[in-house]
Amino acid sequence: MNQKDLWFQACEKIPGGVNSPVRAFGGVGGQPVFMDRSEGAYLYDIQGKAYIDLVLSFGPIILGHRPPQVIHALQKQLEKGLSYGATTSAEVNLAKQILKMIPNMDMIRLVNSGTEATMSAVRLARGFTKKNKILKFKGCYHGHGDSFLIQAGSGALTHGVPSSLGVTPGVAKDTLVAPYNHLEAVESIFESHPDEIAAVIVEPVAGNMGVVLPKPGFLEGLRALTKKHASLLIFDEVMTGFRVAKGGAAELYQVQPDLFTLGKIIGGGLPLAAYAGTREIMEMVSPLGGVYQAGTLSGNPMATAAGLSQLEHLEQLNPWDDLQEKTQYLAQSLKNAAQKEGVSVQVNQVASMFTVFFSKNAVTDTDSALAANASEYAQFFHLMLERGVYLPPSQYEAAFLSTAHTSSVIESIIDKAQESFKIMAKNQ
């Protein structure tokens, strides 16, 4: 079946033809590409065309596609069974591995998705502090829980939806929003809502308005304010956990939250996420405490097998310095290639995450991200796609490298980008 026919059938049976909005190419135009298989740094579509993959399932594929260690672990578990609805040793082993790698957390609860993790962490923060309101940041995306779909990032930015139908006024009034990287606004909100804010939840590195790094002092300031006002600080490290450093952004920036949410990489490519905290906080979770959260497939044997294998191999391989060096080189090379053709770009990068913004100005928050030229990004996206490079189909999503992206693969990306920028310059 060709791409066009399959897309027609998808639109007939699935809302918008996709099971997650960003896949619909709404931010870049055209029809999405149906992928069939993957290997290393490459995706292959249903007609066999190869693409250098810079999406990497939006983050989880840090070892490249189909790493032998993870595939072997899955094959072993497949022989034992898919799901039991009972406790397994793999859950315990994965919990121990995660807690060994992230800083200063005592207990963890496994769930199925990043949305479940963030919803549960916020509920836990409310139960622990006995306060109702949460504070989030404009353009940060924490999944599709009702509390988070207020000036959210990711697909909500791509499709121009600052909120969502179905979110009640009651939920909205308990969600306070500040601009990312503007500490004075956070301080003002705390002063306006004394003793009401249960938690501040933040992507320590924003990845859902494109990659936007925290300004010096921003995360430290959030830590100080939450302590001052007896609120919890939640780091949403669903994207950055084990991606930007062994211990995630908390290790990279040396700021300790009260709760982590994790996902993507910890599942090794399968659906798995978690939230973690100190013993005092986590013992509030049922069946020990009164904060209820449950899930039939939480700690699924296949997902825990994949996640444990990936994390163990990551710890042994210790690839973070090498990934940072390769991605920094790629980011600077893309910027140089654009400048050579007179195309204005900003390339925001941290560790193995990056975003090419088509802007003359630095991108430091949601407003400056939205000011970037999304139509130029769409043109660049399609030029790269034609040349066999698969970028995120939205200006407001992060791109990634993996250990499978060798020097020759990176040079190929740079060459194809140079060609694309040259064509863009001619079209200006």
For the annotated catalytic residues, the residue numbers are 141, 236, 264
Listed residue (102, 369, 57) closest to 237, CA to CA: 102
Residue type, 331: A
Q: Could you give the CA distance from residue 392 to residue 55 in angstroms, rounded to a whole number?
A: 5
Inter-CA distances, 405 with 42, 68, 390, Å: 9, 16, 13
At a CB cut-off of 8 Å and minimum separation 6, what does 56 contact? 62, 400, 401, 402
Listed residue (241, 347, 298, 266) closest to 97, CA to CA: 266
End-to-end alpha carbon distance in the chain: 37
Whose tokens are 């094959």? That residue is 75
Q: Between β-strands 50-53 and 197-202, what pairing exists: parallel, antiparallel or unpaired?
A: unpaired
Whose tokens are 């298989």? That residue is 37
Starting at the edge strand found earlier in the chain, the sheet holding 273-277 runs 107-111, 273-277, 259-262, 232-237, 197-202, 133-138, 175-179
Q: Are 181 and 218 in contact (CB under 8 A)?
A: yes
* φ, ψ dihedrals at 277, nearest 5°: -165, -170
Tokens standing for residue 43: 């995706």
Whose tokens are 């090379």? That residue is 333
